A and B are shown apart, each in its own frame.
Chain A
Amino acid sequence: MILRALLEKLGHRVFEVGDGAVAVARFAELQPDIVLLDAMMPGLDGLEAARKIRALAGDRLVPLVFLTALSDPRELARCLEAGGDDFLIKPFNRVILEAKLNALNRVRLLHQALSERAEQERRKNEQMLAEQRMARLVFDNVAHAGCLSSPHIRYHASPMSVFNGDVVFAANRPGGGSLVFLGDFTGHGLPAAIGAMPVAEIFYGMVSHGFRAPDILREINSKLRRILPVGMFCCGAMIETDSRQGLLRAWNGGLPDAWLLRASGERIAIPSRNLPLGVREPEQFAASMVVFQATPGDQVVLMTDGFSEIRDPHGNMLGESGVRGVLAGLESPGQAFDALLARIKAFAGRPESVDDLTLCALEITGTTPPQTPVKISAEEAPAGPADWQCIYEVREKTLAEFNPLPLLLHICMEVPGLRCRSGEVYTLLSELYNNALEHGVLALSSEWKDSPRGFAFYYQERQRRLAETDGHFVRFSLSHESRPPGGRLRITCEDSGDGFDFANHSARVTERSTGQASSYAGRGLELLRRMATGLKVHGRGNQVEVIYDWEPPRRTEGRQTDE
């Protein structure tokens, strides 16, 4: 009674009960801020009631004060052990009571503030994770636009890899072959993810328009140079395959060695020879690719540095020697992907060890048919130029510096409906152009490419002769006439070279394709002949005319190829 009066005088609302069990029940109902308990109570004793109240309060801090006439230190200690925060010894002193209640209330308020902060943090964190999941969906829609799911490409990336700064892109090139890019942004989280978006857009946009790897790398570099702050950049490697020519071109800027694994057992490292993307000004950027012969069954493996830098439980690094060891022990290149992942898991001894690394394996497939017609999107405008003619000539130094194919493809793709044949049109244009440039202007002999030494020589010579293109040209004459439901595209490609003995050449090609399986030469014209409605060689063999009649794909056809 005295206590109640004292407390009310201090401004508190007081609820009084007579025994321990009722105290516990009323506690649950009233949720008071502070509980004063007599150590000795009928029914449930004070110590037991204290334990129950503590359990009911859960995460809430509710100070418990024992009221006691006891003065035995051991008894008092028991009160605190049972969950009490303090005790008041009878008879009560008003000043002490007030001071103790204030002190306990400060602790209570502090605890409450901390709990609220923690709850806020938890909610914020939850929200951030939800946002990351959403962001990832958006990113995946951009990044997985290509052929990452093709059977000849396998990759491992943590589900949240874009927030680790790792990206993998892969796309089919319009004329056959693939383009793969593995990138590793410095830094983690949002900055890396934001930087990855334009890279994905550039990659997929440019490859579908027929641009080659060096152009795409140059564009990515200048974009990143422009948008990333100094000190942030993207290590990356790009592989371009050309299955028809049996070629592979590689560029590595800042990633660990990529590997070309041949069915013959050969293991060829493709080391980083360039600065990462986004470091150099565009005019200083080096986009030259290393060229390799590639035969079906060969594999290319790309990896981020998370791979060699993985540590075992004792802190030892797997290192590049560890990677080499795995690759040396393979029975066939096709096992590389699984073997490398298995090695990592075994080495680090933790399944989550693979979270911070990205691995991609690309298998070289046989001659792929040029891209089959793609589905026509519903929103594609039916209107556009259908009857036209143009002449486009590339000459002098421009022959060495500029690839006219994306531009020519773009002109052709303006024809309504022809977009669905972009792969074939690209192949026609690129075969004509490559023949004109390499065999016409540069007078390179495709027979050199038959031996590995000649192959290297061919590409050295190509590089050298490109510096001497004075007085040379390659001229395209394109015309299209509408022939509903499709049309006729006529492409004539003329070059300033000496031409060639066409009749003889095609006889040799036929002989060769029956005899030698590994011959790459002469495939260009052979392929053109197969795809085109008509093919004629004019002049001294330096002018090739192709007639290409096309029709839009039937509906079922369009659906089938939408894989």
Chain B
Amino acid sequence: MPISAHRIENGQTLVIAVEGRFDFSSHQAFRDAYEQADGGVERYIVDLSDTTYLDSSALGMLLLLRDHAGGDAASISIENCNSDVRRILSISNFEQLFSIC
């Protein structure tokens, strides 16, 4: 499965891991990952350790997650980006919306 989700920290944190290309083809799976996990989730981690590529529709999906998680009140961190992925996130200045590490 290119997108997988699991909970940590007593289920309060949902970790969504994306494997391979993060693009429009992951749309439904990414959405399912957070929509089906509802209930008690307070924090989200998007784990991109195994993500090779990220395009603008993936940026859009991250914005949708942020919206789902409460917009400005959302607590989402995007973790373990490789340098290409990191570059794309920073060109769009997504560090203003997410904590990226």
Determine whether the beta carbon of B92 is less than 8 Å from that of A235: yes
| In the complex, chain A residues 164-190 whose Cβ is within 8 Å of any chain B Cβ | 184, 186-187
1/0 per residue, CB under 8 A from A, across B81-101: the answer is 000000000011110110000
Interface size grouping (class) on chain B: 10 to 19
Please pick, from B56, B59, B64, B93, the residue contacting A253 in the complex, using a CB distance under 8 A: B93
If A186-B56, A235-B56 touch, whether A254 touches B64 (CB-CB below 8 Å) is: no
Q: Confirm or deny: B57 has a beta carbon within 8 angstroms of a beta carbon on chain A.
A: yes
Nearest-Cβ distance from residue B39 to partner chain A, whole angstroms: 22
Q: Does B67 contact A (CB under 8 A)?
A: yes
Give the residues in chain A near B91, CB-CB below 8 Å.
Answer: 254-256, 271-272, 305
Residues on A with beta carbons closer than 8 Å to the beta carbon of B93: 253-254, 272-276
Q: Which of B57, B67, B96 is the one whose CB lies under 8 Å from A230? A: B67
Contact with B along A221-251 (1 / 0, CB 8 A): 0000000001111010000000000000000
In the complex, A327 has a CB within 8 A of chain B: no
- Give B84's nearest chain A residue, CB to CB: A317
Query: Is residue B2 contacting chain A, with contact meaning CB distance below 8 A?
Result: no
Q: Determine the chain B residues whose CB is within 8 A of the CB of A305 once the complex forms.
A: 56, 91
Q: Is A279's CB within 8 Å of the partner chain B?
A: yes
The CA-CA distance from A256 to B93 in the complex, in Å, is 11
B61 contacts chain A at the CB level, 8 A cutoff: yes
Write out the residue numbers on chain B whose beta carbons fall within 8 Å of the beta carbon of A279. 63, 97
How far is it, in angstroms, between the C-alpha of A271 and the C-alpha of B57 when the chains are bound? 21
A275 and B94 within 8 A (CB): yes
Residues on A with C-beta less than 8 A from B96 are: 275
**Chain A contact surface mostly:** loop
Are B97 and A230 interface neighbours, CB within 8 A? no
- Are B92's CB and A272's CB within 8 A? yes
Shortest distance between the CB of B26 and any CB in chain A (Å): 13
Q: Is A254 a contact of B57 with CB atoms below 8 Å? A: no
CB-based nearest B residue for A274: B93
Shortest Cβ distance from residue A271 to the other chain B in the assembled complex, whole angstroms? 8
B92 touches A232 (CB 8 A): no
Give a binary string over A255-290; 1 marks a CB under 8 Å from any B CB, 0 the rest: 110000000000000011111100100000000000
Report the Cα distance A275→B72, complex, angstroms.
14
Give the nearest-CB partner of A184 in chain B. Answer: B56
B92 CB to closest chain A CB (Å) equals 4
> Of all chain A residues, which has the CB nearest B93?
A275
How far apart are B12's CB and chain A's nearest CB, in angstroms? 24
B63 touches A230 (CB 8 A): yes
B 13-50 to A, binary, CB cutoff 8 A, 1 in contact else 0? 00000000000000000000000000000000000000
Q: Return chain A residues, CB-CB under 8 Å to B92.
A: 235, 254, 272, 275-276
Chain B residues with CB below 8 A from A233, complex form: 59-60, 63
Name the distance in Å between A315's Cβ and chain B's nearest Cβ: 12
How far, in Å, is A322 (CB) from chain B's closest CB? 14
Q: Decide yes or no: A231 and B94 within 8 Å by CB, A186-B56, A186-B57, A186-B59 being known contacts.
A: no
Residues of A within 8 A of B67 (CB): 230-231
Q: How far is the CA of A146 from the CA of B61 in the complex (A)?
A: 35
| Bound CA–CA A378/B61 (angstroms) | 49
Roughly how many angstroms separate A409 CA and B71 CA in the complex, as a whole number?
A: 39
Cβ contacts under 8 Å, A273 to chain B:
93
Min CB distance B46 to A, Å, is 14
Across the two chains, which residue of chain A brings its CB closest to B66? A230
From A184, A186, A274, contact of B60 by CB (8 A): A186
CA distance A352 to B86 in the complex (A): 29
Assembly CA distance A255 to B61 (angstroms)? 18
A20-56, CB < 8 A from B: none
Complex: how many Å from CA A164 to CA B100? Answer: 29
Contact assessment for B97 and A231 in the assembled complex, using a CB-CB cutoff below 8 Å: no
B residues less than 8 Å from A271 (CB atoms): 91
Nearest CB in chain B: distance from A511 CB, A: 47
Closest to A320 in B: B87
Contact code string B57-80 (vs A, CB < 8 Å = 1, else 0): 101110110010000000000000
> Which residues of B have CB within 8 Å of A253?
93
CA distance A186 to B55 in the complex (A): 9
Q: How far is the CA of A279 from the CA of B91 in the complex (A)?
A: 14
Chain A residues contacting B56 (CB-CB under 8 Å) are: 184, 186-187, 235, 305
What 0/1 readout, one digit per residue, does chain A (273-317) give for beta carbons within 8 Å of chain B? 111100100000000000000000000000001000000000000
| CA–CA, A186 and B56, complex, Å | 6
Contact present for B60 and A232 (CB under 8 Å): yes
Return B22 CB to nearest CB of chain A, in Å.
14
Q: Among the interface residues B57, B59, B67, which one has the most CB atoms of the partner chain A within 10 A?
A: B59
Interface centre among A186, A273, A274 (most CB of B within 10 A): A186
Partner of A275, one of B57, B60, B61, B97: B97
Residues of B within 8 A of A272 (CB): 91-93
Smallest CB separation, B9 vs chain A (Å)? 27
In whole Å, how far is B48's beta carbon from the nearest beta carbon of chain A? 18
20 A–B pairs (Cβ distance < 8 Å), ordered by A: A186-B56, A186-B57, A186-B59, A186-B60, A187-B56, A187-B57, A187-B60, A230-B63, A230-B64, A231-B61, A231-B64, A233-B59, A233-B60, A233-B63, A235-B92, A254-B93, A274-B93, A275-B92, A275-B97, A305-B91
Seen from chain A, the residues whose Cβ lies within 8 Å of a Cβ on chain B are 184, 186-187, 230-233, 235, 253-256, 271-276, 279, 305
Name the 9 nearest CB pairs between A and B, nearest first. A231-B60, A186-B56, A231-B64, A254-B92, A230-B67, A275-B93, A231-B63, A272-B91, A186-B60
